[in-house]
Amino acid sequence: MPRTQIALAGRIKPGDAVVVDGALKVIARVKRAQGRKPAKGENLHLVADDGEILRMNSLAPVRMAARPAS
């Protein structure tokens, strides 16, 4: 398993790899969800490269593969 870090779901960009149930999923697209807005943050749909849709709030913590230092 590669090194991971914690980030807010709102900071996830296409191409990032997130850990879901112990497996890495590469995010192909980030969409804002339609419908009722929550009291804090916004609802996001993170679409993985295999087509799975991860639904979460933009303020939720997400474990992702560490980005290289720049």
List Cβ neighbours of 38 (8 Å cut-off, separation of 6 or more): 57
What's the pLDDT at 69? 61
**Which pLDDT score is estimated for 21?**
87
Cα(18)–Cα(8) distance, rounded to whole angstroms? 11
* Domain segments of the chain as ranges: 4-65
- Which is more confident, 3 or 8? 8
CB 62 within 8 A of CB 56: yes
Please state which architecture CATH assigns to domain 4-65. Roll (2.30)
pTM metric for this prediction: 0.82
pLDDT tens-place string over residues 15-67: 999 998 888 999 999 999 988 889 999 999 999 999 999 999 999 999 998 87
